[in-house]
C-alpha cells in the first residue's frame, strides 16, 4: 500500500469537498468541515500535552536526575483553576489564573508596546523629513501630511467645515488609499492560497490518476 | 449597451468563481511566464543586508507559520535559507508556531543536503517553544535556558556551532517568517527594540501593510510581503523557476481578471444610477 498516494488522494478529495461550497452548501462540504474541526481539536490537545505541558511543566517538576520540585505544583494549580470555568460553582477561581496572565502580559507589553508602536512611529514621522534625497523628503512630506490629515479626520471636537473640512477630506482620501492597498494585499494572499491548492491538484494529484489506472510511467 | 452592464451587475457570483479559477489554472497549464521585476523594494533591502553580513555570522531564522500559509511562506523560507547557506552564514532555526519547526526542518535539511552543509556545524533547528513575546525576552538573556536541547533532543553543549552563542546579542540578524501572532511584531518589540538586534522578515500578503510602518522607522531591515516578496527573493538569489516565481504568472492573470470585474462592476453601478436618475 502506497501511503504517499493515499495521502495525496485524501488531500485532493478534501480540497474538492471544501471548494464545493462555492457552488452551494452541501453534505460533502459539511463532512470536510467537521472532519477538519475535529482533527484540529484532537491534534492540538495532543500537541499541547507533549510539546507544552510535559517539557515546560512535568519535566521541571520531575527532573531527569530524580527528585521532585515542589514549587512547580503552583503553575499546575493555576492551570487547574483555568478549567474551573466549566464548573459554575467554582468558576471564580479561573479569575485568579486569568488575572495573572493579563497582569504579566500587560506589565510586559505596556512599555514595550508604547515604545515600539507609538513613540518610534511618532519619531519616525517627525524626523523622516530632515534626511535623505529629494525624493525621500517628498515622500516623507506626503507621510506627514497623510498622518496629520488622517488625525484631523478623527478629530470631532470641531465641525468639519472650511479648512478643517478640507484637511479631513484629504485624510479620508489617504485612508481610502490605505484600505485599497490593504484590500489588494488581501486578494494577493487569498489567490496565493488558491494557486497553492491548484498547484497541488494539477502537479501532484492528477499525475497519480494514470499511475493508478496503469497508463504511462 | 446599458442592458448588458445591468446584466453584468447581476452576474451570478459562481460564474466569477469559475472565471477566477480559469485565470489561475490556464497560466499554470500553459506554463505562461511573466517576468518578475525586482525594484527598490523592502525585499531587496533584506537581500542586501544578508549579503553584507560577514561569513560565519549567526542568523536566527524563526519559522512562525503553519501549513495554512505554506504557499506563500515556504518558498520564502527556502529562498532565504538558500541565500544564508550560499553566504556561509550559520543558521539557527526555531519556531514560535508548533508546526513551523517541522516546516523549517524541511527547508533547511533539503537545501543543506544539496549544498553540502552539515547539521550542528552550519545549521541547527532548536524547535518550537511556547510563550511568544515572553519567550523572546528570555532569549535576550540566555538562549540555552530556553532551548537546553535542539529539536532532536541533542544537548546545547554538544552542538559545536552554538559554543560561542549566549543570548540574542550574539545574533547578527533575526529573520521571522510570520503568518500572524506571535511573529514579526513580537520580534520587533521584544528583540529589535529591547536588545538592538536587526530584524528582517517575511509575511503573508494580508499582514504586509501593517508591517510597512516598521520599515519606515528602520525597526526592520527588510520585508518580504506575500508571494511577490518570495518571488523577489527567489529572483535575487538566482533560483530559476522557483515555486513563487511560477506562482506570479497565475497571480498576475487573476489580478487582471479581478481588475476587469471591478471596472465592469463600477460601470454597471454608475449606468444603473444614471438610468434611475433619468427616470426621476
Residue in B17, B205, B226 closest to A22 by CB:
B17
Residue B4 is predicted with a pLDDT of: 78
**Which of the following CATH numbers is that of domain B42-240: 3.40.50.2000, 3.40.50.10160, 3.30.450.40, 3.40.50.150?**
3.40.50.10160
Residue A31 lies in a domain: no
Angstroms from A93 CA to nearest CA on chain B: 23
List CB contacts (< 8 A) between A189 and chain B: 72, 204-206, 226
A56 touches chain B (CB under 8 A): yes
pLDDT along chain B (280 residues), means of 10: 72 92 96 87 94 96 95 96 97 95 96 94 95 92 94 94 95 97 94 95 94 92 95 94 92 95 88 72
Residue of B nearest to A125 (CA): B217
Q: Which residue of A has its CA nearest to B254?
A: A191
> Tell me, what's the pLDDT at B276?
75
- Is A62 within a domain? no
| pLDDT number for residue A110 | 87
Residue spans of the domains in chain B: they are 2-32+247-279, 42-240
**B101 Cβ partners below 8 Å, 6+ apart?**
B63, B93, B94, B95, B125, B127, B128, B151
Residue A214: give the domain boundaries.
131-217
Chain B CB contacts of A192 under 8 Å are 71-72, 204-205, 226-227, 247, 251
Contact B227 A186 (CB under 8 A): no
Which residues does chain A have with pLDDT short of 50? none
Q: Is residue A200 part of a domain?
A: yes
What does residue A206 show for φ and ψ, rounded to 5 degrees? -55, -45
Contact check, Cβ <8 Å, A194/B20: yes
Q: Is residue A181 one of the residues assigned to a domain? A: yes
Q: Which residue in chain B has the smallest CA separation from A189?
A: B205
Query: For residue A50, is it within any domain?
Result: no
Is A189 within the bounds of a domain?
yes
Q: Decide if B98 and A196 are in contact by the 8 Å CB cutoff.
A: no
Give the CA distances from residue A168 to residues A160, A163, A171, A177, A179, in Å, rounded to whole numbers and listed in that order: 7, 8, 5, 14, 16
Domain assignment present for residue A28? The answer is: no
Angle (CA) B74-B76-B79 rounded to 5° is 110
Q: Are B84 and B119 in contact (CB under 8 A)?
A: no
Torsion of Cα atoms, A57 then A62 then A67 then A69, to 10°: 20
Closest CA–CA distance from residue B55 to any residue of chain A (Å) = 30
Residues of chain B with Cβ-Cβ distance to A115 below 8 Å are: 189, 193
Let me know if residue A151 belongs to a domain.
yes
Q: Which residue has the cell 500553459?
A: B30
Number of domains in chain A: 1
What pTM, to 2 d.p., does this model score?
0.90
Is B98 in contact with A47 (Cβ distance < 8 A)? yes
Tell me the shortest Cα–Cα distance from B276 to chain A, in angstroms.
27
Q: Is B229's Cβ below 8 Å from some Cβ in A?
A: no
Cβ pair A200, A12 in contact under 8 A: yes
**Record: contact A51-B128, CB cut-off 8 A:** yes
Q: Does A134 touch chain B (CB under 8 A)?
A: no
Q: Residue B103 contacts by C-beta under 8 Å, 6 or more apart in sequence?
A: B63, B65, B66, B67, B70, B73, B74, B77
For chain B, say whether A52 makes contact (Cβ under 8 Å).
yes
Tell whether B135 is within 8 A of chain A (Cβ). no
Q: Which residues of B touch A193 (CB under 8 A)?
A: 68-69, 71-72
User: What percent of chain B shows pLDDT beyond 70?
Assistant: 98
Is B217 in contact with A121 (Cβ distance < 8 A)? yes
Measured between CB atoms, does B14 come within 8 Å of chain A?
A: yes
Of B20, B226, B246, the CB nearest to A188: B226
Q: What is the pLDDT of residue B194?
A: 92
The answer to ipTM > 0.90 is no
Our CA dihedral for B211, B217, B219, B224, rounded to 10 degrees, sits at: 40
d(CA B63, CA B85) in angstroms, rounded, equals 16
**How many whole angstroms separate alpha carbon A89 and alpha carbon B200?**
49
B 64-93: CB under 8 A from A: 68-72
| pLDDT tens-place string over residues B255-274 | 999 999 999 888 888 888 88
Amino acid at each position: 500500500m502506497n501511503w504517499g498516494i493515499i495521502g495525496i488522494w485524501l488531500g485532493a478529495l478534501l480540497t474538492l469537498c471544501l471548494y464545493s461550497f462555492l457552488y452551494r452548501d452541501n453534505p460533502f462540504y459539511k463532512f470536510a468541515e467537521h472532519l477538519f474541526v475535529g482533527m484540529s481539536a484532537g491534534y492540538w490537545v495532543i500537541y499541547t500535552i507533549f510539546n507544552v505541558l510535559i517539557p515546560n511543566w512535568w519535566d521541571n517538576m520531575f527532573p531527569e536526575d530524580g527528585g521532585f520540585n515542589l514549587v512547580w505544583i503552583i503553575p499546575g494549580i493555576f492551570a487547574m483553576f483555568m478549567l474551573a470555568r466549566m464548573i459554575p460553582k467554582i468558576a471564580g477561581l479561573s479569575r485568579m489564573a486569568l488575572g495573572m496572565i493579563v497582569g504579566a502580559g500587560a506589565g510586559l507589553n505596556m512599555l514595550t508596546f508604547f515604545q515600539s508602536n507609538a513613540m518610534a512611529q511618532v519619531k519616525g514621522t517627525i524626523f523622516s523629513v530632515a534626511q535623505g534625497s529629494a525624493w525621500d523628503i517628498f515622500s516623507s512630506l506626503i507621510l506627514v501630511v497623510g498622518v496629520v490629515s488622517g488625525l484631523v479626520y478623527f478629530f470631532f471636537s470641531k465641525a468639519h467645515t472650511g479648512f478643517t473640512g478640507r484637511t479631513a477630506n484629504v485624510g479620508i482620501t489617504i485612508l481610502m488609499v490605505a484600505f485599497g492597498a490593504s484590500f489588494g494585499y488581501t486578494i494577493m494572499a487569498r489567490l496565493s492560497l488558491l494557486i497553492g491548492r491548484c498547484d497541488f491538484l494539477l502537479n501532484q494529484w492528477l499525475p497519480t490518476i494514470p499511475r493508478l489506472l496503469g497508463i504511462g510511467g | 449597451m446599458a442592458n448588458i452592464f445591468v446584466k453584468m451587475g447581476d452576474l451570478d457570483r459562481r460564474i466569477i468563481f469559475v472565471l477566477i479559477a480559469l485565470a489561475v489554472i490556464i497560466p499554470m497549464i500553459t506554463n505562461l511566464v511573466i517576468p518578475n521585476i525586482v525594484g527598490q523594494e523592502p525585499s531587496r533591502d533584506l537581500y542586501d543586508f544578508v549579503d553584507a553580513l560577514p561569513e560565519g555570522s549567526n542568523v536566527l531564522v524563526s519559522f512562525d507559520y503553519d501549513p495554512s500559509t505554506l504557499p506563500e511562506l515556504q518558498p520564502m523560507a527556502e529562498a532565504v535559507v538558500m541565500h544564508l547557506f550560499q553566504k556561509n552564514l550559520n543558521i539557527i532555526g526555531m519556531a514560535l508556531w508548533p508546526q513551523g519547526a517541522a516546516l523549517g526542518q524541511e527547508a533547511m535539511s533539503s537545501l543543506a543536503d544539496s549544498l553540502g552543509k552539515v547539521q550542528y556545524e552550519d545549521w541547527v533547528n532548536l524547535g518550537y517553544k511556547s510563550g511568544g513575546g515572553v519567550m523572546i525576552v528570555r532569549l535576550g538573556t540566555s538562549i540555552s535556558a530556553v532551548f537546553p536541547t535542539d529539536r532532536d533532543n541533542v544537548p546545547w553543549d554538544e552542538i559545536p556551532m552554538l559554543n560561542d552563542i549566549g543570548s540574542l546579542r550574539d545574533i547578527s540578524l533575526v529573520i521571522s517568517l510570520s503568518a500572524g501572532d506571535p511573529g514579526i511584531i513580537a520580534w520587533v518589540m521584544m528583540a529589535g527594540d529591547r536588545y538592538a538586534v536587526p530584524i528582517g522578515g517575511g509575511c503573508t500578503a494580508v499582514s504586509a501593510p501593517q508591517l510597512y510602518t516598521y520599515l519606515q522607522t528602520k525597526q526592520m531591515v527588510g520585508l518580504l510581503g506575500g508571494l511577490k516578496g518570495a518571488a523577489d527573493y527567489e529572483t535575487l538569489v538566482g533560483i530559476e523557476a522557483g515555486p513563487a516565481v511560477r506562482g506570479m504568472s497565475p497571480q498576475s492573470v487573476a489580478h487582471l481578471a479581478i481588475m476587469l470585474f471591478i471596472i465592469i462592476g463600477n460601470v454597471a453601478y454608475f449606468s444603473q444610477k444614471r438610468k434611475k436618475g433619468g427616470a426621476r
